[in-house]
Chains A and B, each alone.
Chain A
């Protein structure tokens, strides 16, 4: 169920250049059902920055009723969020969206997790849950440059991890596809989150394979009422438009027109 929760910030730190990791505690955590769901956050009480900011959940800790979010402080809203400190309260709406289907990969099978930039965070919880059920995870993570790479160690601990940077300052030079081309396609499922051109490339390379893509779109309400964050669909499904916030953000590969 979607609830509105005054969550308390238990920690906030800059983990890479302009990339912040925030931990939030509250009863909303009990409602989360899948990795890849997101929360909709008010950056302050004032109305000057009116709309909530959708941010994906990077890690879930049910025992502590705590979630981790990772976001880039790029616009005025996320900058204001980055100024908050441990102990501050934040108005959070969630959990929203459907999330990645962990059940689509069986124990003993291999899953490829492909992320780009600020699309990487939800793959962390996904990898934790897949790994916990006995799935082998291979991570291909693309970033602009070394100074914005995060969670490399965490992903390494879960499975093979390939880092790619556009400027070549870390790992392979280029895009995630530069690594994907060299990997075999002996895997059961792929899961991906990142910018639209990346999702398009991933879907093309793995055409015919079972995969799930998580999309981003400018949002209004976050709950499906305002029809702002729609995506055009392919003829694989009947509906001609789907809503990223409430029908997604995760869709099976091939459903969204890319």
Chain B
């Protein structure tokens, strides 16, 4: 048996490493640099019903040990993703997790209904936590009842398991986690970015055109780790953890905190080969810890 393999609802992962949504496009760019079949899974960029052009620029700004982004869900829309992006990804032996977003519940339902029928989409990731769009996104992820209702509406139409991506920009993330679990979520992915801003030194004005952006990178790892630690102890569904993962040790940390698998986001921008590099480093890390199968790590921080 493969020491790195992980089994999750809808997902047979050869390893627990997957690029995070929004940090990997639809795979084409990185697919030109290495074999995407090496990955555990791929979380593709958010798909909305209609084409989205996203926010004005500048959309990114570096911050100490991190970065802010406010891309604004730019994507070719459901039709474009179904006709071009997903079929292209079929050449790789890798499960796809489709990130679904919208302005209102009906959008989510319609996207979920269609995209979950694509042969390589093995799970959905419900995006109720994007901090960079005016409507939808985070608005669905900060009120537990709204999150629960949206989750159950999507569950009703989806052909594949549904994971819900949680926002850290709430008072108590456990409440939202429990709510989506009640709504029928098969798993949780967490965390999305933390809201932040950066000012231009000379003008004093925000650098990001959207004024605020989502903070990611190593700076957010302690926050993410703490939230995974808390949520994993109150829900019975698995967690795919993320937030500032840069190397194999960070993967060990997130799984120890309670994640069953992890997603790598911002690190792809720093090193486009980071996912295969981490996968290659993991067995030696397990040896160091005298651990045979990586799943044995899950939740060892409190077990």
The A contact surface, by secondary structure, is loop
- Select which of A2, A218, A227, A241 is within 8 A of B25 by beta carbon: A227
Q: Are B57 and A218 in contact (CB under 8 A)?
A: yes
Interface centre among A47, A52, A219, A224 (most CB of B within 10 A): A47
- Select which of B59, B67, B272 is within 8 A of A51 by beta carbon: B67
Q: Are B25 and A240 in contact (CB under 8 A)?
A: no
Indicate whether A237 reaches chain B with its CB closer than 8 angstroms: no
Bound complex: CA of A219 vs CA of B269, how far in Å?
Answer: 10
Please, which residues of chain B bring their CB within 8 A of the CB of A240? 53
Q: How far is the CB of A92 from chain B (nearest CB, A)?
A: 12
Q: How far is the CB of A223 from chain B (nearest CB, A)?
A: 5
Q: Are A2 and B32 in contact (CB under 8 A)?
A: yes
Given that A47-B218, A240-B53 are contacting pairs, would A227 and B59 also be in contact in the complex, using a CB cutoff of 8 Å? Answer: yes
Bound complex: CA of A52 vs CA of B268, how far in Å?
Answer: 11
Indicate whether B150 reaches chain A with its CB closer than 8 angstroms: no
Interface centre among B53, B60, B266 (most CB of A within 10 A): B60
Interface residues of B in 284-300 (CB under 8 A from A): none
Bound complex: CA of A221 vs CA of B45, how far in Å?
Answer: 14
Indicate whether A226 reaches chain B with its CB closer than 8 angstroms: yes
Q: How far is the CB of B251 from chain A (nearest CB, A)?
A: 16
Q: How far is the CB of A33 from chain B (nearest CB, A)?
A: 15
Please, which residues of chain A bring their CB within 8 A of the CB of B25? 224-227
Interface size on B, residues (CB 8 A): 36
Given that A226-B71, A227-B25, A229-B57 are contacting pairs, would A93 and B66 also be in contact in the complex, using a CB cutoff of 8 Å? Answer: no
Indicate whether B65 reaches chain A with its CB closer than 8 angstroms: yes
Please, which residues of chain A bring their CB within 8 A of the CB of B57? 217-218, 228-231
Q: Total A-B residue pairs with C-beta atoms closer than 8 Å?
A: 100
Interface size on A, residues (CB 8 A): 31
User: Nearest chain-B residue to A2 (Cβ)?
Assistant: B33
Indicate whether B98 reaches chain A with its CB closer than 8 angstroms: no
- Select which of B33, B71, B218 is within 8 A of A50 by beta carbon: B218
Given that A221-B269, A223-B29, A230-B74 are contacting pairs, would A51 and B62 also be in contact in the complex, using a CB cutoff of 8 Å? Answer: yes
- Per-position 1/0 for A73-114, Cβ under 8 A of B: 000010000000000000101000000000000000000000
- Per-position 1/0 for B42-76, Cβ under 8 A of A: 00010000000110011111101111010100100
Indicate whether A42 reaches chain B with its CB closer than 8 angstroms: yes
Q: Are A51 and B54 in contact (CB under 8 A)?
A: no
Q: How far is the CB of B150 from chain A (nearest CB, A)?
A: 25
Bound complex: CA of A93 vs CA of B33, how far in Å?
Answer: 11
Q: How far is the CB of A51 from chain B (nearest CB, A)?
A: 5
Please, which residues of chain A bring their CB within 8 A of the CB of B217? 47, 50
User: Nearest chain-B residue to A223 (Cβ)?
Assistant: B29
The 6 closest A-B pairs by CB, nearest first: A225-B25, A228-B60, A221-B269, A225-B29, A218-B58, A223-B29
